[in-house]
Amino acid sequence: MNSLRRTRLHGIGFFCLVAALLLTACEENLTVPEELEMPFSMYGVISPDLDTQSVRIYPVEPRLTLGDPDIAGEIRVSSTNMATGETTVWEDSVGIEENGQHEYIYEAPFRAEHETSYQILAERISDGARSVATVRVPAPVTVRMASVRPQGIDVIIVGDSIRVLKPIVAYVVRLAEGEFPVRRYEIPYQGEEERVPDGWRIEIKFARDARKVQGLYNAEEGALQGSNCGWLDLREMNINILVGNAEWDPPDGAFSRDILVQPGVLHNVENGFGFIGAGFRAVERLRLPREVIEAVCFNFYSP
Amino acid sequence: MQAALIRYLRSSIIFMWGISLFLIVSLVVVLSSEVSYAQSATLGGIVTDSADGQPLAGATVMLRSAASSQEDTPIYGAAADADGIYLIRNVTPGTYSLTISYVGYETFRDTLVLSPGERETRSVSLARSEEQLDEVVVEARESGMARVTAGHQRITPEDIDLVPSPDISADLANYLTSLPGVVTTGDRGGQFFVRGGEPSQNLVMLDGIILYQPFHLIGFYSAFPSEIIDRVDVFAGGFGPKYAGRLSSVIDVASRAGNNRRLAGLASVSPFAGSVRIEGPVVARKLSFIGSARQSFVERTGERLYGEQLPFYFADAFGKLHLRPGPRSTISASAIHTYDRGKLVEEIGGAEAQEIRYTNDGFGLRWLGLPRILPVTTELVATHSNHSMEQGAPGETARESEVRNTRIALHASFVGDSTVTVAGWEAVFSKAHNRLGGLFQNVEASNSSLHSFGFYAEPEYRWRALRIYPGLRLQFYSVRIDPYLEPRLRVEWDVGGHHLTGAAGVYNQQLVGLNDRRDPASVFTVWAGIPRDNESDDTELLHGRLGQGVHALVGYRSRPRPWIEYSVEAFYKRLTNLFVGEWTGFPRLTTRLQPATGRTGGFEARVELKRAGFYGYVTYGYSNTLYSAIGRQIELWYATEQLDFRPGHDRRHQVNALLSTSWRGFDVNLRWSFGSGLPYTRPLAFDGFALVDDIKRAEDLEHSRRVIYERPFSAVLPTYHRLDVSLARTMHLGSAHVKLQASVINAYDRRNLFFVDVFTLKRKDQLPLLPSLGIEVAFN
């Protein structure tokens, strides 16, 4: 046997040995995860502000599909007023989005009541699997000003089990002299709300806002601003807040879809995914003393 | 606008300052050495093969005193570089006998009289020896699987031809998949991960042309068929300062010149693809051309021959003109075009299946020479390339990405008595454009201008058997004013047949290639720049900070007998300031970036046997890659400050074995490959998400479909292994030859998993048992 042949045989032998050894522990199949038993994801808001309540339902599916119009008939959605025990079955409506995706919306024509809990139930008719959310609509809130200074106005929203969200301070202004339009400017205060013992507190940075509003008006209407104060009337100032139930509490008070998309973040559906909020919008007019208004160079307006 | 203008002006000033500095330093170095050695002579030239004009890399050039009785007369020697260029400096004037030799070729002998200050040129064409010493030639080859030097491996067409493939035309991609440090997601997709790095972190060049996606959708093919290749330098890590702009690896392909003596050609066909190549002289011995084109057939033949739809199509074309205007220089012009189209993901619901389409176009000029005025070898490269990628239903484009660049580089090798210092500069002007849309996709558009300028030097120091190459690159990136210093180090120590090597370096990358790594079948890559200082979003943590890699590796190689060689190499890479696509439950690609760090470590072992008529190797690679993602949402979602996970390309174990021999006149090649399972993220279910952010009716809530995942990359796919076999016979008919090849891919029909479709939860397997027949006809 010459050396070449010997080398060749050794090579083939080694090749086969390595292959045989490594073939032993080779699983071809994929481990399949257990199927999630949660039937639905639900999203919506129960509110006294709306004359029709509605929820968006997504079946939790084993694969991504564009949906089927028949699915809506397979789901029964109802609400129960926990105070009266009254149950309402909601009507389904199926829509088709531009990309062909079916959407399942359920609605019921009633206005939610303050200080009332509602149980929203989505049930799969075929096997009775259910997802449930229970929410309580907060009581109306009172808004008061704790301190009023040109630099900052402390506004307290008094209420139990509430979460104040998306506060906006609106300024309605007009040039003190001449025929110029009334303009409304909204300054967002999202993320600046702070929990206090009797509710929530928002500090309105009045002087900063005044400079901003005057600048915006000036930019829109031309170079009207002189060096003097009082060229712009502050005709109205109000605060607009979303008053939600205590569970309506996104991280940092911000509604970032990229953060909230993860299941488990902002979640109150039992045996399912999603979130149903309860709340209302509150708007309160803020009446400030003349000296505070004039201290930030607004003209005190008296109709 | 004003800020951008100021930034541009400041960049330009720094660029001009840098160029000026480099030129001044270069001139000082060159002129000072010239003053010192003004009385000595210089000999240089190009060594080529007389049969076809190809350079003979590694040819030995010796100068010996003609007066042999003078024993103390110095002997000068040099080896031709990869382009066949050699240069000997500081030769004492006198009469010399010159010999130029190369294994398997007739030795060239001449007598030279060198005068003080003379710059003599001897460009020589060596004739092939009548007496072919096959065994000697095989053992003398400087390439091979085990021939790894501090992460660097040179690959030749002969190496590539040994790996069985379904096509008779061999391809670089098929060889790269046999390297122990290269991980692919399967036999389709065209994604290569080198030692833990991402595909977008690989710098791939052809004749200096930067290519962004040069691998075809069918994993056996790239833009580089072996018949156009002269050599490939693969740096799996620790690459020197000549290269920059990527964090992971370099694949530097040099094409060969066309035959400048006579017309030659080749045509081949198989059920997978067909190819043609033609080359020849335009002006004999002066100007040659080579052209190559390929097209796949598998889209049409797949279902008929194999009972399975293989919806992939590719085509590529390459052309090169090579001019030798004189004995001291060569000029070449290369052009390349590739096109791919294929479907990797099945349709969702009733929607039409998504198609991926991409092209690469490139053009480059390369001048190589020995300037008469300077004792250096120089390479000047000017290239332009464009890469575009689209995804959407056939005939529609839902998302698109495009990146183009113009590159100008000058490399110079300063030859010393026994060392070579390389230095140079490089300017790359890149632009990227993206537009995203499609099913479940938010529409996003972005444009980026990403320029970089760099200067480098890498001297060589020798101390006995130790060679040290400390390198430094001064790199300017347009994303930030401050220059980046990128130190590099390579060390080689040869002692008694033992070869110890090491390398280390710092690397930066400003161009980010984003893939949807939740989906291993995703090829669509968005090329974009890192966020700038003045942008404000969630990634402010990394604004203006480039992705950075630090490499360290150490290796040992030995060749105890001429026919056996083995090597081991351990490596570590630390990656910081990485931008990975933000993890999201939305079933779509996102360009929102998430900060991450990563590290990868491992080792590779290779044993190679080479004899005349027999060749084989076995390689084993172990790799361990871990990424850590940080960000506000990570804390919210997983109750931890950072999320550690194995990325989808973290293949822990990989084995490749190749055996090539001849049997009864047939060339027999077998290749067996094994890989442990890749991590993946298991989708649990699908539902939808709506943003409950105000008092609204449900239909007015912003909404989208959603994927509910397990913890990222917490599941592992099954192991992968496959045996490929090819049997070929070549018949010579005068100056032509006909080659017939029969091959079987996946010979024992292993059901290897390619990916799990995250949208349908269906498994998609790699290619089943695929027999193939091919024929090649060539003449020369």
pLDDT at A12: 63
**Are the CB atoms for A135 and A279 separated by under 8 Å?**
no
pLDDT at site B34: 46
Q: How far from the centroid of its chain's Cα atoms is residue B81's Cα?
A: 20
Helix (H) or strand (E) holding B10: helix B2-36
φ, ψ (nearest 5 deg) of residue B67: -85, 85
Instruction: Report pLDDT for B36.
Output: 47
Q: If you ran DSSP here, which 8-state letter would residue A34 be given?
A: P
The reported pLDDT for the residue numbered A93 is 85
Give me the pLDDT at residue A240, please.
96
Taking the Cβ of residue B750 and every Cβ of chain A, the question of whether any pair is shorter than 8 Å is answered with: yes
- Please report which confidence band the pLDDT of residue A15 belongs to, taking 50, 70 and 90 as the band edges: low
What whole-number distance in Å separates Cα of residue A299 and Cα of residue A232?
A: 6
Cβ separation B693–A255 shorter than 8 A? yes
Asked if residues B562 and B512 have their Cβ atoms less than 8 Å apart, the reply is no
Q: Which helix (H) or strand (E) holds A170?
A: strand A162-175
Tokens of B196: 């833990």
Rounded to the nearest 10 degrees, how much is the dihedral formed by the CA atoms of B298, B303, B307, B308? 70
- Asked if A121 and A134 count as a contact pair (C-beta separation under 8 A), the reply is no
What is the rounded distance in angstroms from the CA atom of residue B516 to the CA atom of residue B587? 10
Q: Is B349 on the interface with A (CB under 8 A)?
A: yes
Q: Which of B605, B543, B553 is nearest to B574 (CA)?
A: B553
Residue with tokens 């001297």: B459
B293 — contact with chain A (CB < 8 Å)?
Answer: no
**CA–CA separation, A208 and A212 (whole Å):** 6
The Cα–Cα gap between A99 and A30 comes to 32
The three-class DSSP label of residue B167 is coil
Put simply, the answer to whether A8 touches B563 (Cβ < 8 Å) is: no
Distances B329 to B48, B83, B155, B324 between C-alpha atoms, Å = 13, 10, 25, 6
CA of A280 to nearest chain B CA: how many angstroms apart? 6
Query: Helix, strand, coil shares of chain B as percentages rounded to 5?
Result: 10, 55, 35
Q: Which residue has the tokens 């030659």?
A: B264
DSSP letter for B309, please: -
> Length of chain B in residues, anyone?
780
Determine the pLDDT at residue A301.
83
Residue A226 pLDDT grade (very low, low, confident, very high; cuts 50, 70, 90): low
User: What are the start-end ranges of the H helices in B440-491?
Assistant: none
| Encoded amino acid at A115, one letter | E
Mean of pLDDT over chain A:
87
**CA distance to partner chain B, nearest, from residue A12 (Å):** 7
Q: Count CB-CB contacts under 10 A for residue B445.
A: 11
What is the predicted pLDDT for the residue at B742? 95
Q: How many C-beta neighbours within 10 Å does residue A177 have?
A: 11
Q: How far apart are CA B55 and CA B557, in angstroms?
A: 27
Best of A135, A262, A273, A280 to mutate (most B CBs within 10 Å, chain B): A262
The span from the first CA to the last CA of chain A, in angstroms, equals: 117
Encode A105-153 in three state secondary structure.
EEEECCCCCCCEEEEEEEEECCCCCEEEEEEEECCCCEEEEEEECCCCE
Q: What is the pLDDT of residue A151?
A: 87
* pLDDT tens readout for residues A162-207: 999 999 999 999 887 777 788 999 999 998 999 999 999 999 999 9
Token readout for B594 is 């998430």
Q: Do A277 and B692 touch (CB under 8 A)?
A: yes
Compute the distance between CA of residue B115 and CA of residue B428 in angstroms, rounded to an integer.
43
Structure-block tokens of residue A139: 């009581």
pLDDT for A112: 96
**Alpha-helix runs per DSSP H in B341-494:** none
Is B440 an 8 Å CB contact of chain A?
Answer: yes
B708 touches chain A (CB under 8 A): yes
Strand-pairing partners, residue A79, are: A88, A120
Asked if the C-beta of A21 comes within 8 angstroms of chain B's C-beta atoms, the answer is no
- Entry pTM: 0.84
- B686 to A64: CB separation less than 8 angstroms, yes or no: yes
Residues 264-293 of A with CB under 8 A from B: 264-266, 273-277, 279-281
CA distances in angstroms from A159 to A147, A245, A253, A281, B431, listed in the order given: 19, 10, 17, 14, 55
Dist CA B404 CA B386 (whole Å): 4
- Neighbour tally for B665: CB within 10 Å: 8
Put simply, whether A97 touches B (Cβ < 8 Å) is no
Instruction: Determine phi and psi for A137, rounding to 5 degrees.
Output: -80, 125
For the stretch B19-69, pLDDT in tens is 555 555 555 444 444 444 557 889 999 999 999 899 999 899 999 887 665
Could you tell me the two tokens for B493? 């120590």
How far apart CA A56 and CA A43 sit, in angstroms, is 5
What is the rounded CA–CA span in Å between residue B226 and residue B249?
21
Question: Which residues of chain B fall below pLDDT 50?
Answer: 1-2, 4-5, 8, 28-36, 439-441, 533-541
In this structure, the number of other CB atoms found within 10 A of the CB of residue B613 comes to 16
Q: What are phi and psi of A2, to 5 degrees?
A: -80, 170
Query: End-to-end distance of chain B based on CA atoms, in angstroms?
Result: 60
Q: What percent of chain A has pLDDT over 90?
A: 54
Q: Three-state SS for B758?
A: coil
pLDDT (mean) for A22-27: 56
pLDDT band at A258 (very low <50, low <70, confident <90, very high): confident
Give ipTM to 2 decimals.
0.89
**Helix (H) or strand (E) segment spanning residue B707:** strand B703-709
d(CA B679, CA B650): 7
A222 touches chain B (CB under 8 A): no
Which of 247-266 (A) contact B at CB < 8 A? 248, 250-251, 255, 257-266
Out of B672, B690, B694, closest to residue A242 by CB? B694
Q: Which amino acid is at B719?
A: T
Give the number of other CB atoms < 10 A from CB of residue B213: 26
CA distance A88 to A112: 12
CA-to-CA distance for B569 and B147, rounded, in angstroms?
A: 11
